[in-house]
Amino acid sequence: MEKYDLCVIGGGPAGYAAAMRAIDFDKKVILIEKEKLGGAGIYNGALSSKTMWELSTRFRKVKEDLDGEKTQYLDIAFEDVRNSIEESVFDRKFQLTSHLRIIHAETDMITYEKGVASFVSDKEIKIIKEGGVEKHIYAENTIIASGSRPRCLPDVEVDEKIIMTSDGIEHMDEFPESLVIVGAGVIGCEYATIFSNFGKTKVHLIDRAERILPFEDRDISDLISKNMEKKGVIVHRKSQLKRIEIIDGKVEYEIETENGEREIIVVDKALLSIGRTPNIKSLKIENAGVKMSKRGVHIGEDDTRTNIPHIYAVGDVSGRIPLVNVGEREARHAVVMMFGDFPVKTINYENVSTIMFLDPVVASVGANEKILQEQNIPYRIAKVDYSTIARAISMGKPEGFFKLIVSDDDDMKVIGMRAVGAHASSAIQSIALLMHMNKGIDELAHMIHPHPSIVEGVQEAARMLLGKSIYKSAVFKDKLKCYRFKDGVETPLNTIDEEKRMKFEEVAKHYHESGED
């Protein structure tokens, strides 16, 4: 029986990262993947869906920029979309496989096996390879990184042709004329954005809550839903799905509104976007004595370690935050806990940066107003509209805003930010770093940022909170906001005398109408 220092079950982003980090410690590693190296990070997930989003966004932008008569000559087939996705997937897959082969050839420290892994005991693992061939290996340590799959509804036939999950939606032969998306979370809203951008599909979105993206602040969800509906998306708010089935090659679904009224609607296709469920069943983790939780593999206080000291769980299977960047971080952390001979800090899950590929893009880190108000935590906030940022104006993309949230004290330490608009994902990183370092906003306010750039808006938000901004929030009340929220009361900061404010508005109106400098 072959022996290894580490067995990694799952070759997705988390598993791949774990295997490569273990090589840094000169450990002998076996990486086992059931289907495709790269997992959902490449196939039917982050890479493929964002490739689709990028293409849809460019298509929509070109169409909006053309004169009305010229748009009739602009078209795109779903085959073109599929080809673009396949090119991106191939490039990334080629990188991973080539890298793995070279590492194996040069170091002989890593073995890659394709097959289904399951525990025989806590240190013995069985691999069932193609053709039913069995192989048993011994591992001193194991990382479970088996990922997740789309969650389905009970008693609903998912054929991945008519009723689909994210595993099937990108493999259609043509754009459907109509599509219903069940679930108005991040993934559902992203696909609603994608298909409405192409403008070839009538999109219906079923939302049980009062508004889409209910975990975010209302100003964000209102902006996203407004843009969706502008592009023809029908949002069924406060609606319960009572039935969905395939009838005569179409999808018939029935919803019930909050007042008890029912409606039956027929569309061409359906996408179930109701979350994901961990890939655990085939692992037979009970043979290793590993405990389960309601969300996945049970993790104790030691970040990624299970109740069995030499078995760890990372990524989607741990039931924490199902994101590629989180899975990779957990995987590398688990390896260091195993083999590092130095103290290891616990993972801070509060400062995870996220991106939602919507219209516009939404990037976030830390707490938002909704969370702080629910927990009755006082805070201060500065909100800067994109229309006041030179770079956004020059790009012709003035829609969006920054919301910088700090502690309600003299330190004004950063506790969160939301960036909504162009370049949002780039702008969030400086704030994530400040939070990681437990810093206030002085450094941010005094830095010399590149000009013109979107991140200048973040700096202006910091300056607003410090009372030294260029544009005064008391003047541009519709574009800039700066206030304290405490005990349910919103109090403006850096206010000016009302008589002076009215005078400022009168002068500004005069110059706007006259065109004078």
Residue 155, in any domain of the structure: no
Residues 286 and 268 reside in one and the same domain: no
User: What is the Cα–Cα distance from 337 to 210, expressed in whole angstroms?
Assistant: 43
- What's the structural domain count of the chain? 3
Residues 376 and 505 reside in one and the same domain: yes
Look at residue 505 in the predicted model and tell me its pLDDT: 57
Residues 263 and 204 reside in one and the same domain: yes
Of 348, 382, 399, the last residue of a domain is 348
CB within 8 Å of 356: residues ≥ 6 apart: 186, 189, 190, 213, 362, 363, 364
SS3 407: strand
SS3 377: coil
Residue 353, in any domain of the structure: no
Q: The domain spanning residue 420 has which CATH number? A: 3.30.390.30
Residues 510 and 384 reside in one and the same domain: yes
User: What is the Cα–Cα distance from 153 to 123, expressed in whole angstroms?
Assistant: 36
Residues 386 and 246 reside in one and the same domain: no
Residues 178 and 69 reside in one and the same domain: no
Residues of the chain with pLDDT under 50: none
Of 348, 370, 401, the last residue of a domain is 348
Residue ranges making up the domain that contains 269: 163-274
User: What is the Cα–Cα distance from 401 to 381, expressed in whole angstroms?
Assistant: 13
Residue 391, in any domain of the structure: yes
Look at residue 96 in the predicted model and tell me its pLDDT: 94
Residues 296 and 341 reside in one and the same domain: yes
Residues 287 and 264 reside in one and the same domain: no
Contact 330, 304 (CB under 8 A): yes
Q: The domain spanning residue 189 has which CATH number? A: 3.50.50.60
User: What is the Cα–Cα distance from 95 to 181, expressed in whole angstroms?
Assistant: 33
Q: Which two tokens stand for residue 135?
A: 């192989």
Contact 330, 306 (CB under 8 A): no
Which of these, 137, 147, 142, lies nearest to 38 by C-alpha position? 147
User: What is the Cα–Cα distance from 490 to 380, expressed in whole angstroms?
Assistant: 9
Q: Which two tokens stand for residue 330?
A: 């957990």
Give the residue ranges of DSSP H helices in 66-131. 78-107
Look at residue 473 in the predicted model and tell me its pLDDT: 83
User: What is the Cα–Cα distance from 400 to 397, expressed in whole angstroms?
Assistant: 8
Look at residue 364 in the predicted model and tell me its pLDDT: 96
User: What is the Cα–Cα distance from 136 to 32, expressed in whole angstroms?
Assistant: 12
Which of these, 170, 181, 188, lies nearest to 44 by C-alpha position? 170
Look at residue 66 in the predicted model and tell me its pLDDT: 80
CB within 8 Å of 253: residues ≥ 6 apart: 180, 182, 206, 241, 243, 244, 245, 264, 265, 267, 270
Residues 375 and 504 reside in one and the same domain: yes
Residue 153, in any domain of the structure: no
Residue 156, in any domain of the structure: no
Residues 502 and 377 reside in one and the same domain: yes
Residues 16 and 126 reside in one and the same domain: yes
Place of tokens 């991973």: 96
Of 317, 348, 379, the last residue of a domain is 348
Look at residue 495 in the predicted model and tell me its pLDDT: 63
Residues 376 and 504 reside in one and the same domain: yes
Element (DSSP H or E) covering residue 218: helix 218-230
